[in-house]
Amino acid sequence: MKAMVLKAAGPVTSNPLRLVEVPRPEPGPEEVLIKVKACGVCHTDLHIVEGEIPHVKLPIIPGHQVVGEIETLGPGAQRFVIGERVGVPWLHSTCGKCEFCRRGEENLCEQAKFTGYHVDGGYAEYICAPEDFCYRIPAQYSDALTAPLLCGGVIGFRALRLSGYQPGEKIGLFGFGASAHIVLQIAVYQGCTVYVFTRSEAHRSLAKELGAAWAGGAEDIPPSPCDRAILFAPSGKLVPLALKALRRGGVLSIAVIYLDRLPEMDYMELLFWERVVRSVSNSTRKDVEDLLALAPLIPIRTEVEIFPLNEAGKVLRLIKESGLRGAAVLCP
């Protein structure tokens, strides 16, 4: 099968991904083989390819927003039938036994494995995954339109939940790409007023089109203080700006897997008055199931640009340069 393979990390400008022929995987016990129809491209993929996240497996096939059709059932697999359409997200598997798994926090499992990081992902024609970590796709969504929901959508959904937001509150979104454009729609559906902070005029235009009440730059002052804020950009210098936009007692959720250096911050100005900063790590199966059930009700509109598999490197460069309007999807 054809796949985009990373053998050694490097700047995306050096084209570290290569299109090669590799053996088609075979499903193990309680696994399924999926013919990939679409795979979203995520900022996390960029961090993996450039080596900003330490590698645990090389070579690796990246990609963890996968939509496809069941082609083969492994021994004992019976949750799906051949030909059924399913999605594969970032969380590949967990131990199911540790204290985190037992209390519903499987996203924190120390034995968790992640798609496109510990195991080969969806920048390929086929992928294998445990049936218990695959999801049925809403009939209303095409393959390409579903893919961004499986990571950008889910992690943003979890970040919004963990912010402790209430309907009617003011939500600030810092950075506006694949994840934020989905979260904006969820927040508006819940009756929230959404302010978007982004340097891109194209992103500001899309934000307003999707229901944002205001859009400006990260250093601009919003119409009123935010009750909650979510940071989607991997830039530490935005943390103090997001805190400055919060009211007293407000919460900032950081929805990125990699964040560059945090600047020094004035405690009295930015963290006093019970402002809260929290990270958001991975997602649970319940997060995915809840979002896929909610998406058709809103309905969430995913803004996608479709590219062939061999242009994965080009897409990652566009992500790094904020050159996409919404989300990018590879279609083998």
pLDDT at 55: 86
pLDDT digits (tens, 9 = 90+) for 206-216: 999 999 999 99
pLDDT at 153 over 90: yes
What is the spatial distance between Cα 210 and Cα 218, in angstroms, rounded to a whole number? 19
226 touches 172 (CB < 8 A): yes
Tokens in use for 187? Answer: 């927040």
Please provide the average confidence, as pLDDT, over all residues in the chain.
Answer: 97
Among 128-137, 257-266, 279-288, which is the least confidently predicted range? 257-266
- Taking the alpha carbons at both ends of the chain, their separation in whole angstroms is 10
pLDDT at 103 over 90: yes
DSSP 221-271: PPSS-EEEEEE-SS-TTHHHHHHHHEEEEEEEEE--S---PPPP--HHHHT
What is the spatial distance between Cα 210 and Cα 183, in angstroms, rounded to a whole number? 10
pLDDT at 261 over 90: no
Task: Return phi, psi of residue 73, to 5°.
Answer: -100, 130
| Structural domains of the chain in order of their starting residue, each with its CATH number | 2-152+282-331 (3.90.180.10), 153-279 (3.40.50.720)
88 touches 115 (CB < 8 A): yes
pLDDT at 129 over 90: yes
pLDDT digits (tens, 9 = 90+) for 10-35: 999 999 999 999 999 999 999 999 99
pLDDT band at 65 (very low <50, low <70, confident <90, very high): very high
pLDDT digits (tens, 9 = 90+) for 239-259: 999 999 999 999 999 999 999
What is the spatial distance between Cα 132 and Cα 80, in angstroms, rounded to a whole number? 10
Contact residues for 323 (Cβ-Cβ < 8 A; gap 6+)? 317
Pairing of strands 17-21, 2-6: antiparallel
pLDDT digits (tens, 9 = 90+) for 106-118: 999 999 999 999 9
Q: List alpha helices for 82-179, DSSP H.
A: 99-102, 143-146, 152-162
Pairing of strands 226-231, 170-174: parallel
pLDDT at 326: 86
What is the spatial distance between Cα 97 and Cα 239, in angstroms, rounded to a whole number? 35
pLDDT at 293 over 90: yes
* % of the chain surpassing 70 pLDDT: 100
Range 191-217 average pLDDT: 96
pLDDT at 325: 86
